Each structure stands twice: as C-alpha cells, then as structure tokens.
C-alpha cells in the first residue's frame, strides 16, 4: 500500500528503481510503471546505492535485511539502507550495527501521512541517523515527502514515529467518542462535524476520517492491525523508558476489541475504532 506508490514517485522523478516484494502481484504492478523486478533483497542491493525497506513490523525488517537472500548479502560498502517501516528502535539499531560491519550506512525514516501521502509524495518523514548519511539520502527522501525532519541518531526516527502514533490513536478515540455522543444527544452529525472542524478540535485525522466514519467507509488507508502493532511498540517503549501511558494502554485495548468482529476485522481502516465506542454506547455515528 505504501511502497508501491513511493517507488512510482522515485521513477517519475528520474531515478532507476529496482524492486522486490514477497507479493509477486505487487512486483508486476511496479514493472508496469518502469521498475526493474528482482528475485530477492540481495539482488536489489547488488545494483542499488540506496535501498529502502517498507514492511509491517520488526521481524519483517530483520528478515528483509539479514534473512536468507536478504539485503545484507548483496549490499556494497558505501551504500545506504533507509528503513521507512514503523518498528522497534532497538531493531533499527541492531540493523545499523549489522550493516556497519559491511561498510554500509543505515537511517531509520518512518513516515506519517498514509497512503494518500505516499501517492502524492507529501509524507512527513521522521529521520534517525548520523548527519552525513542523512544528507546523502536527503534527495531521495525529498521526493517521497515534503516534510523531512532529522530527529537525531539512529533510532530517533522510529521513536518519534511511535510517539506520533500515540497522538493519532488518541485523536481517533476522541473523534469516535465525540461523534457517538453528538449522535446520542440528538445533534445533526453533519452540522456538528462542520462546526468542530473549524475550531480547536480540528485535525488532519478529523478532516480525513470524520467523513469516512459518518458515511460508514472503513476502507483502509492505515489498517487496524498496523495501529495495533504501533500501540504495542508504544507500550514496549513506555516500559523501557519508565513512561506512564494510561491513555495509550486504554486505546490499545479498544483497538484489540475490534478483533471480536472476526479475523478480517483488523484489515479495516484505523477509523474503525469508532465501532468499539458505538457498541459500548448502542448507537451508530452515521449520517
């Protein structure tokens, strides 16, 4: 959902892009718009000075980089690996150490902005790494996003993204509660949405997810299962740093309850959190 449009933006900007994915259909789509398919991460690394990983979770990053036929098998001295996944900062640091042994650089550069941001090249990118490596990767990052921020050393980008997800999850919970309360109290939901979207409660998530919730559209731009993973990472980081995260822990439980709908429920968009609040309140926040 993310890597494919990002690859296309790089090609449109004039870069030669080589791709690998476990999903052959995705590789075929990339081939159509000019990417060169390969059969492994190692083969991609052999012909690339900059390699980007964009996968769901920490184990997937480890497998893509250090697994059988992984990137590290083909990477050259002086190349840079940019991990744009949302994973544990500790995993990122571990990968950086492994790649350093090959003479290759590593930066963590997770993104926020969803599929729409990936398609339009307007992602916000949170970067961790040494200044020299980040500077070398900056031209590529600037194609993929319009707000690139160097947060600090390796691991800082992943940490910033985890904190960002706390903001997003709490906001979605607030939107859901507000909509359900407005509905049960007899307000016109469209009028309510238009009013609050012009005030202090305005947010990017309200602008994007508010109309989706009101129309019952739970198509994923960012899946429930990925939000569940990100909140797990937040809880782990909170434990490691001794940070109290009471709101995050509660929202994580609300997201977990979505699984009660069935095995496919976690493939809905993250805005489906409202369904949990609707069940608790016995009301639907729809127009």
Which residues are identified as catalytic? 161
Rounded to whole angstroms, the Cα distance separating 37 from 40 reads 9
Rounded to whole angstroms, the Cα distance separating 238 from 235 reads 5
Q: Parallel, antiparallel, or unpaired: how do β-strands 111-112 and 123-128 relate?
A: antiparallel
Look-up: residue for tokens 């699984």?
259
Rounded to whole angstroms, the Cα distance separating 85 from 100 reads 19
Residue 50: φ, ψ to 5°: -130, 130
Question: CB 17: neighbour CB atoms within 10 A?
Answer: 20
Rounded to whole angstroms, the Cα distance separating 82 from 1 reads 18
Q: Closest Cα to residue 3, out of 42, 61, 43?
A: 61
Question: CB 27: neighbour CB atoms within 10 A?
Answer: 18
Contact between 51 and 73 under an 8 Å Cβ cutoff? The reply is no
Phi-psi region of 129 (alpha: psi -120 to 50; beta: other; left: phi over 0): left
Q: Closest Cα to residue 76, out of 50, 114, 57, 107?
A: 50
Residues in the chain: 287
């Amino acid at each position: 959902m993310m890597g494919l449009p990002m690859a296309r933006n790089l090609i449109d900007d004039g870069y030669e892009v080589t791709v690998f994915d476990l999903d052959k259909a995705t590789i075929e789509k990339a081939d159509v718009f000019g990417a060169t398919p390969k059969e492994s991460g190692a083969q991609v690394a052999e012909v690339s000075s900059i390699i980007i990983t964009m996968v769901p979770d920490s184990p997937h990053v480890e497998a893509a980089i250090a697994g059988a036929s992984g990137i590290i098998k083909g990477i050259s001295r002086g190349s840079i690996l940019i991990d744009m996944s949302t994973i544990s900062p500790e995993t990122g640091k571990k990968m950086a150490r492994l790649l350093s042994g090959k003479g290759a650089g590593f930066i963590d550069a997770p993104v926020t902005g969803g599929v729409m941001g990936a398609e339009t090249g307007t992602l916000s990118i949170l970067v961790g790494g040494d200044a020299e490596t980040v500077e070398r990767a900056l031209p590529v990052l600037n194609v993929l996003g319009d707000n690139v921020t160097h947060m600090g050393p390796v691991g800082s980008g992943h940490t910033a993204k985890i904190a960002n997800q706390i903001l997003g999850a709490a906001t979605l919970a607030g939107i859901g509660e507000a909509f359900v309360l407005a509905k049960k109290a007899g307000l016109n939901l469209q009028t309510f949405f238009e009013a609050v979207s012009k005030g202090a409660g305005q947010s990017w998530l309200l602008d994007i997810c508010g109309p989706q919730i009101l129309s019952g559209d739970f198509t994923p731009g960012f899946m429930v299962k990925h939000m569940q993973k990100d909140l797990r990472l937040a809880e782990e980081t909170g434990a490691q740093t001794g940070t109290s995260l009471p709101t995050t822990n509660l929202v994580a439980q609300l997201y977990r309850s979505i699984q009660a709908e069935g095995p496919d429920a976690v493939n809905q968009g993250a805005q489906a959190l409202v369904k949990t609040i609707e069940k608790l309140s016995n009301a639907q926040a729809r127009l």
